[in-house]
Structure 1
Amino acid sequence: MTGESGGRRILLVECDGEKRKSLGFVLRLAGYRVTPVRTSYEALDWVVKRQGAPERFFALVLGSLTCAPDGAWLVGRLDRSGAALPILLVSDADPSAAEMAGPVIACRPEEVTRHLELLAGSE
């Protein structure tokens, strides 16, 4: 069952294995097709390779910012590569405190699917 997600493809970047599994589970439960990666390098590689593909990523869900290189590095590289996809920064901390350049939407873990649904509705 794909529900509101329409089976859209999500790239999930999270270096913490347990958080990656947990967030991936929630996204799959909501009907998204999830490609989980551990590092910003892996994420950049996936996005750049899929840019011209007919089935690109709908959004990038960025978890922990504790791994090097961090999320700010990834956002900057994606911007320079010309990859145009929404980025959701998932944090247990106050999302309004997130300081990222570029088109980043900050949200709490429990708000991820709602924000993705809003993005899908604005297509």
Structure 2
Amino acid sequence: MPLPKQDSPARRIDERPRTYRITTPRRTCVVVELGGSGDPVKIKVSRRLDMVLGMNTAPVLDLSQEEAWAIWAALCDGLGAGGEPPDWTNGPLTAFGPDGAALPALPTAAAAEPF
């Protein structure tokens, strides 16, 4: 007897513009700016030494969504082959809105829990 098939619930997509920031132990700041689906993705890497010296040499990548997904896939596979992620990368990142304030969770979104 075949098992009944049930469609999985539709995934809730957050279309709000948002920014994610993470700082490495060496004080390099990585900032990712996202918009809605189809909007460009901006990734900026600011090194502490450059900021202290007043040099504005932080590389900025302006990417399409497709290019950002390709980088994500390559990093996941490439870094995953190198071992476990460091402890400082564990846990969810807070999303910030265009005004710099933390974005509240979507009403129907599941609570963020570290894996």
TM-score by length of 1: 0.23
Task: Return the index of the structure with the highest Cα Rg.
Answer: 2
Structure with more helix by fraction: 1
